[in-house]
Amino acid sequence: MLVNLKEILKNAEEGGYAIGCINTPNMATLRAVVDAAEEMQTPVIIDHAQVHDPLIPIELIGPKMVEYAKQAKVPVCVHLDHGSDYNFVMRALRCGFSSIMYDLSALPFEENAAKLKEFTKMAHALGITVEAELGIMTSTEDDTHGDGGGWTHETIKKTFTDPAQAAEFAEITGVDALAVCFGTAHGIYAEPPILDIDRVKAIRAAMPATTRVVMHGGSGVDEKQVQAAITAGCSKVNYYSYMAKACTKHMQEYLNEIKGNGFWHEVDEEAYRFMKEYAKDVLRMFKNGKTCKY
């Protein structure tokens, strides 16, 4: 069933678990994530990142995402990830996406807040939920999100979100979810991340109850820290890079094993099977030992 962020994240926070948000830039990944969610009996968020659009245009994958969500046996939110271009955001809405991350975090606080306030008012009138970002999430060198490189435990602290600013931003804009920075990064970590869990607690305590806290860069973070962040107030966790890398490694081993004695549809199906099992493990971690309500 197709849903937006609001209802599933409310249940998640009240239940002490988080909803996984996983990129689905091809059909194998889309099938794998939705099937994994059904088997784990948990809602899920499937999203299309603006940086993946050169790989597969949203007009091709978006309608498939919406179709899979509508037919799923669990609630599925179809979400735009890091949409920073207004025209691209409009393309997502035309495809039937039920939720939008309008990422203007590179702008000064006042401009970011003003534009998100205007956009959120319009989106809510259409029944669409909105996520924003405050603080610029660092990207590692092999990531596609942009800034790339220079990530260390010390430099990343400069990007951390201030709890008071988060509260002010949420009050001004009325966004449904806010991605905040507290030690994670996009991409593959050069060294194990150290999360500022106390900052998550402070952000959650400061913000309006109706604005949910979002953790980006969830892949590559150890399970103990992920679940501590969930318990502290993160009800949405984005995950993709490590799943994609793991599948690449698995498929390399698989192709070496079959030595070219196979067909492409068999190769594609093997990727689907691997990612589904991987996604099930991820969603199990996000359930935080709890039962999902829907």
Please name the residue that has the structure tokens 């948000």: 21
pLDDT confidence of residue 73: 98
Spot the catalytic one: 35, 47, 53, 81.
81
pLDDT confidence of residue 4: 95
pLDDT confidence of residue 70: 98
Q: What DSSP state is assigned to residue 157? A: G
Q: Do residues 122 and 131 make contact, with C-beta atoms less than 8 angstroms apart?
A: no
Q: CA-CA distance, 265 to 96, in Å (whole number)?
A: 29
pLDDT digits (tens, 9 = 90+) for 162-189: 999 999 999 999 999 999 999 888 788 8
pLDDT confidence of residue 33: 98
Q: Do residues 173 and 116 make contact, with C-beta atoms less than 8 angstroms apart?
A: yes
Pick from 75, 5, 14, 16: nearest CA to 286: 16
**SS3 of 214, please?**
strand
The DSSP H or E segment spanning 163 is: helix 163-173
231: left (phi over 0), alpha (psi -120 to 50) or beta: alpha
Give me the torsion for CA of 141, 143, 146, 150, rounded to 10°: -30
Q: CA-CA distance, 89 to 28, in Å (whole number)?
A: 24
pLDDT confidence of residue 190: 79
In 16-162, which residue ranges form alpha helices assigned H by DSSP?
27-40, 58-71, 86-94, 109-125
DSSP string spanning 167-202? HHHHHHH--SEEEE-SS--BS--SS-----HHHHHH
Q: CA-CA distance, 67 to 70, in Å (whole number)?
A: 5
Taking the CB of residue 117, how many other CB atoms lie within 10 A of it?
16
Q: Which two tokens stand for residue 19?
A: 């909803």
Q: Which two tokens stand for residue 82?
A: 């890091």
What's this model's pTM, rounded to 2 decimal places?
0.93
Which portions of the chain are predicted below pLDDT 50?
140-149
Helix axes 86-94, 58-71, angle to 10 degrees: 40
pLDDT confidence of residue 153: 60
Is 81 labeled as catalytic in the residue annotation? yes
Q: Which two tokens stand for residue 196?
A: 């500022």
Q: How far from 163 is each of 160, 203, 205, 208, CA to CA, in Å?
A: 9, 4, 8, 11
pLDDT digits (tens, 9 = 90+) for 225-261: 999 999 999 999 999 999 999 999 999 999 999 998 8
pLDDT confidence of residue 188: 86
pLDDT confidence of residue 160: 86
Helix axes 27-40, 264-287, angle to 10 degrees: 40
Q: CA-CA distance, 260 to 233, in Å (whole number)?
A: 48
Taking the CB of residue 67, how many other CB atoms lie within 10 A of it?
14
